[in-house]
């Protein structure tokens, strides 16, 4: 019984972000870093640990990760007029703006930090 419960819990923790998580974060007024990824993407594998680290250390942004292979992920990608993954966008309801970060910039520490800083100015 205990083993079965652990397997169910592991499955639930591995599910992609639920629909509406970007909208909830966006409505909070805090800038959002939206990361749309795919398990088959080599740049995504390079950016995954960076995204996790940012989410743990940066409190000035909300972080949302969405799998492009879900309906919600495809709708978000299309809504931001994205055509590839990883698709990384900064968005803020309070500032009424959005800005895309290219995959090569996202994995470059200096470029990424400048993009985060510039977005808020």
pLDDT tens by residue, 30-64? 999 999 999 999 999 999 999 999 999 999 999 99
Read off the pLDDT band of 100 (50, 70, 90).
very high
Which CATH number among 3.40.30.10, 3.90.1300.10, 3.50.50.60, 3.30.70.1350 corresponds to the domain 32-100?
A: 3.40.30.10
Least confident of 6-10, 16-20, 43-47, 52-56: 6-10
Domain boundaries, the chain: 32-100
Report how far apart, in Å, the C-alpha atoms of 2 and of each of 10, 11, 57, 100 are: 12, 14, 34, 45
Q: What's residue 3's pLDDT?
A: 52
């Amino acid at each position: 019984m205990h083993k079965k419960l652990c397997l169910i819990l592991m499955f639930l923790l591995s599910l992609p972000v639920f629909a509406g998580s970007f909208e909830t974060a966006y409505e909070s007024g805090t800038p959002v870093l939206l990361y749309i990824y795919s398990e088959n993407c080599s740049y995504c594998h390079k950016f995954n640990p960076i995204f996790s680290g940012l989410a743990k250390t940066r409190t000035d942004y909300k972080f949302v990760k969405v799998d492009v292979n879900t309906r919600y992920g495809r709708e978000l990608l299309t809504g931001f007029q994205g055509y590839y993954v990883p698709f990384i966008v900064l968005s803020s309801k309070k500032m009424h703006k959005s800005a895309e970060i290219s995959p090569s910039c996202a994995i470059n520490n200096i470029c990424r930090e400048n993009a985060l800083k510039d977005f808020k100015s």
